[in-house]
A and B are shown apart, each in its own frame.
Chain A
């Protein structure tokens, strides 16, 4: 046996058939569980012979399928082209080709089944997308280690140096480091009272509903509900109104307090320090978290501020990086709450080497406003009115909600339309959006991975269309803008991306 020869297509470990068998069985069970549940319940009524025959034929079928899967799964290293190639599939065949230098990570794992059989899984991960690009389900440990070494051969130098620098960065990220920005307790209080009302309200509702549910579970016959219902009849109008007012004020206060406590706990003693061009962050009251932001890995930077925060000169920065780690790590953005404007400029300067300027402005077409008014005001309200008219006349009792809803949502829509802008300058693309919390998403054209443009056929004449910029940290979309200008920008961005070999991470 010559384990180091990966240049010929080879199958997995023969015991891999067993692993395949269990995985396929798992898959089938997941697909067939409703039928299984019925079988279990009707166990006595079903002919045992059929059941046994059915089960045996299913197991044989799975056995055959997993054997075929095993036969058709091969992988090999194409030394000449420096590619790793995986071929799989029985009827539908897929051949995946991964360039060796695009490989970010090779993970060797062992699930319970694999432990049982004594093999390992090898997952190949490239940047960006969350799913594993290549996955070998059964491979012996030695072979896995060897393959991993071969896959990462040309990456090794870069990887090891990176780890080194990261380690040293962590080592020096100790409190002795001189932070250039510190967020004071007072600022955190300001942040707490001015942000995230919706999130806190949602958390509160969740909390209340859980408690309510537990209570009603506890007192079997819905004691709470019954009592309330009886008492409701004795209330007159003003009492209800007063009650609602008190409730709203109470809710608002609770939301504020929750927000304050959450912000203080999460971001207590927030420090930002510079280190070899990277940003070092550390924060937290109970468990201190520290993170490193490398400017070249930053994909989307979002600066958010609302009216109150503007008056108090605070704003929030969110940074999305391209990472090759775990999926949950990829999703999360790093938040810096409560910077002043000058601190924001300092941070942006560090990330981009210059302060992003807002360039030529693109406005959305008025149809965007009309369309959103239609879908969020006209449609639900007409549904409600139709429901009240033809199905349940009692619903007319809440008719006063209609103007309130229309006004409230209308205001939100109007302001989000007015704030919806795309600014394009030579080095930055900034998308502004939001009704109350105004967001500015900043990306550099070099970070773009792909561009999608789309246009509905009835918008051709009006010359409006949409664009989505895909980056490794998420998408930035702008809808219903001047399509001729959008296309011009796209051509320029493509030219810039294709003529430079700028590093996007």
Chain B
């Protein structure tokens, strides 16, 4: 009891989540995004190609479709690039932060003592570059989960260990 103190906290002195320096995703993750976009658009192109090959009535629309296809591809790449640039993560002593968004800047904070479980996901393209995605789940439903892509496999394992350790310590 002697050690018990209950001093007033100065709320202005609290650590600020908005001033945290975010780590960027691994540069190779951009390549992963490009590969995935390329695959998606390749499939789309094949489907469109078949459609135009077998259906002669819409032959005149061919050039329009091509232009639309290229514009869509460029816009997708542009937005992916902005999205990639704006994503970042930070691990503080007591919580994990993830920032994302293209027109809005969205920051989500999960305190470690609210983490339910952690998963490590490796996509085919990311595996080639030795990258992995860390997924952090809470009890607050899917909107409150964090997915951090583009982390080196080893670092991702470390992050997972860190999180599991933090969760353990809470108990």
Contacts and interface: CB of A to CB of B under 8 A. Distances in A.
Interface of A: 81-83, 89, 91-99, 101-102, 126-131, 133, 322, 448-457, 468, 470-472, 474-475, 487-488, 490-492, 494-495, 497-498, 501, 504-505
Contacts of B145: 129
14 contacts: A83-B164, A92-B122, A99-B117, A126-B117, A126-B137, A448-B114, A452-B106, A452-B143, A456-B103, A488-B11, A490-B109, A495-B14, A497-B113, A498-B94
B154 to A, nearest CB: 14
Interface string B101-126: 10111111111111011111111100
B137 A129 contact: yes
B164 A470 contact: no
B164 A81 contact: yes
Nearest to A127: B139
Given A494-B111, A498-B94, 8 more contacts: A97-B118, A98-B117, A126-B116, A126-B139, A450-B138, A454-B101, A454-B106, A495-B14
B113 to A, nearest CB: 7
A480 B160 CA distance: 35
Given A451-B109, A498-B113, A128 B14 contact: no
Nearest to A330: B141
B3 to A, nearest CB: 16
Nearest to B118: A97
B118 to A, nearest CB: 5
Q: Which has the most chain A C-beta neighbours within 10 Å: B18, B122, B144?
A: B144
A474 B137 CA distance: 15
Nearest to B165: A81
A128 B105 contact: no
Given A83-B164, A94-B119, A491-B14, A452 B107 contact: yes
A459 to B, nearest CB: 9
Contact of B18 (A99, A472, A487): A487
Given A92-B122, A495-B9, A453 B107 contact: yes
Contacts of B146: 450
Interface of B: 9, 11, 14-18, 94-95, 101, 103-114, 116-124, 127, 137-146, 160, 164, 167-168, 170-171
A102 B117 contact: yes
Given A99-B168, A490-B17, A498 B141 contact: no
Q: Determine chain A's interface SS by DSSP, over half rule.
A: mixed
Given A97-B119, A494-B111, A497-B111, A81 B168 contact: yes
A389 to B, nearest CB: 27
Nearest to A454: B106
A432 to B, nearest CB: 22
Contacts of B168: 81-82, 99
A81 B137 CA distance: 18
A197 B88 CA distance: 47
A193 B107 CA distance: 44
B153 to A, nearest CB: 11
Contacts of B123: 91-92
Given A97-B160, A491-B16, A492-B14, A449 B139 contact: yes
B109 A472 contact: no
Contacts of A488: 11
Q: Which has the most chain A C-beta neighbours within 10 Å: B111, B113, B170?
A: B111
A455 B144 CA distance: 17
B119 to A, nearest CB: 4
A452 B118 contact: no
Given A93-B121, A498-B94, A498-B111, A470 B141 contact: yes
Contact of B140 (A95, A457, A475, A495): A475
A140 B20 CA distance: 50
A494 B110 CA distance: 9
A476 to B, nearest CB: 11
Shortest Cβ-Cβ A-B pairs, 9 listed: A128-B139, A470-B140, A449-B140, A470-B144, A498-B94, A450-B144, A454-B106, A472-B139, A96-B119
Contacts of B95: 494, 498
A468 B117 contact: no
B122 A97 contact: no
Contacts of B127: 91, 93
B15 A491 contact: yes
B122 to A, nearest CB: 5
A127 B116 contact: yes
Contacts of B16: 487, 491
A457 B104 contact: yes
A425 to B, nearest CB: 14
Contact of A472 (B110, B118, B140): B140
Contacts of A95: 119-121
A450 B160 CA distance: 18
A492 B10 CA distance: 10
Contacts of B138: 128, 449-450, 470
B83 to A, nearest CB: 13
A488 B12 CA distance: 8
A133 B11 CA distance: 38
Nearest to A492: B11
B103 A457 contact: yes
A315 to B, nearest CB: 27
A471 B144 CA distance: 9
B89 to A, nearest CB: 14
B11 A129 contact: no
A129 B119 contact: no
Contacts of A456: 103-104
